[in-house]
Amino acid sequence: MELTEEHRALRDAVRGLLSGYPTRAAVEQPAGYDAGLWQRLCKEIGVAGLAVPEAFGGAGATLLEQHVVLTEWGRSLTPGPMLGCGVLATQALLRTGDTEACERLLPGICAGDRIATLVWSGDPVADGSLVGEAHQVLDAESAEILLVPTDAGLYEVDAAAPGVTVRPADVLDTTRRLATVRLDGARATKIGDGDLRPWLGDLAYVALSAEQVGAAAHAFAATHEYVQQRVQFGRPIGSFQVLQHRLAEAYLRLEAATTASWTAAEALVAGSEDAPTLAAMAKVYCSEALQAIAAEMVQMHGGLAITWEHDAHLYLRRAYADAQLFGAPAAHLDRLAATLLPT
């Protein structure tokens, strides 16, 4: 994918703020991320509102610009609510077409002053409340607003309301906090009709694939640099043919993953009928590519990579955790097989 001049400027601005940021220190924050950095990214670059119309406090760009930001987010493994709040929550609100809800909620979200997240499981009951339990919820511990997509529409729930329980989950990837959210008769406000879950699912797969491509790009670049510096038997280990072959395969995986991710993003923005298929393909391929490249990062860095001080294990953890987020690759392969293969 060849970025436009505007995309490159956006990429460089985000990379400049995230470069060298102490990821491990951010993880130790109460919210699991640095709220000051998040607000700076929102107010100086507008990362949470890139694909939000200016009327609602955004920049009026598209999901392709958010794709650029997500790639940099994955490259640095910076903890923060970009995926859950800056992409999924904002787009869920816009998708409802509810002007009042968008005017009330989106400006604060775009400015980084309020955090919203999607709770993927919940069922409305007769009195307007919600029941259900959702696992692997992004940003739930810091969210003020819970958005619950159901087959009847999108519902808004105050995260501090009675009937809402947030329980932090044990995670493999410490740079991305997840939680279980239980709704037990929580009062809810309906802000849109129709089942948004299929489209939001496709958006989640595509957005996650951008992060995966960014993480894979960093893992490959760091490994390529290291094998040129590490000397064994009097020569850089990168000169050994077997490692050259493995790096070449990793590079091809990275290029294919980048193509899959951007093709799916462009289809989603265009509203193509192929968007669901391409989104599922991006989820599968980018998950597998990041796992393979992160594993090579660990292997080629040798004993250094399995020390806590080195970042290689963080990328491997992210690879395996992301593969399960929003559905394991095997589940998406079954979906693709049912869609594409003749019965």
The verdict on 74 and 108 lying in the same domain is yes
Backbone phi, then psi, for 3, in 5-degree steps? -75, 150
pLDDT digits over 144-182, tens only? 999 999 999 999 999 999 999 999 999 999 999 999 999
Position 38 pLDDT exceeds 70: yes
The reported pLDDT for the residue numbered 246 is 95
Give first-to-last CA distance, the chain, whole Å: 35
Residue length, the chain? 343
Q: What percent of the chain has pLDDT over 90?
A: 78
Domains held by the chain: number: 2
The verdict on 74 and 185 lying in the same domain is yes
Provide the domain limits for residue 319. 197-340
Following DSSP, what letter does each residue of 182-244 receive, concatenated? EEEEEE-EEEEES--HHHHHHHHHHHHHHHHHHHHHHHHHHHHHHHHH-EETTEEGGGSHHHH
Last residue of a domain, one of 193, 212, 227: 193
The verdict on 161 and 203 lying in the same domain is no
Confidence of residue 233 (pLDDT cuts 50, 70, 90): confident
Last residue of a domain, one of 193, 214, 238: 193
* Three-class secondary structure of residue 120 per DSSP: coil
The verdict on 19 and 137 lying in the same domain is yes
Arithmetic mean of pLDDT over the chain: 93
Name which of 256, 264, 269 is nearest 282 in CA terms.
264
Distance CA 102, CA 58 (A): 11
Residue carrying the six token digits 């932090």: 168
The verdict on 147 and 222 lying in the same domain is no
The verdict on 225 and 161 lying in the same domain is no
The reported pLDDT for the residue numbered 343 is 64
Question: In the 8-state DSSP scheme, what is residue 339?
Answer: H
The verdict on 103 and 249 lying in the same domain is no
Confidence of residue 1 (pLDDT cuts 50, 70, 90): low
The reported pLDDT for the residue numbered 234 is 83
The reported pLDDT for the residue numbered 236 is 87
Contact 213, 70 (CB under 8 A): no
The verdict on 87 and 148 lying in the same domain is yes
Three-state SS sequence of 189-202 = EEEEECCCHHHHHH
pLDDT digits over 180-223, tens only? 999 999 999 999 899 999 999 999 999 999 999 999 999 999 99
Contact 138, 83 (CB under 8 A): yes
Residue 161, domain CATH: 1.10.540.10
Q: What is the mean pLDDT of residues 279-285?
A: 96
Position 126 pLDDT exceeds 80: no
Residue 146, token pair as written in the block: 């819970």
The verdict on 273 and 133 lying in the same domain is no
Position 93 pLDDT exceeds 80: yes
Last residue of a domain, one of 143, 166, 193: 193
What are the beta bridge partners of residue 146? 117, 157
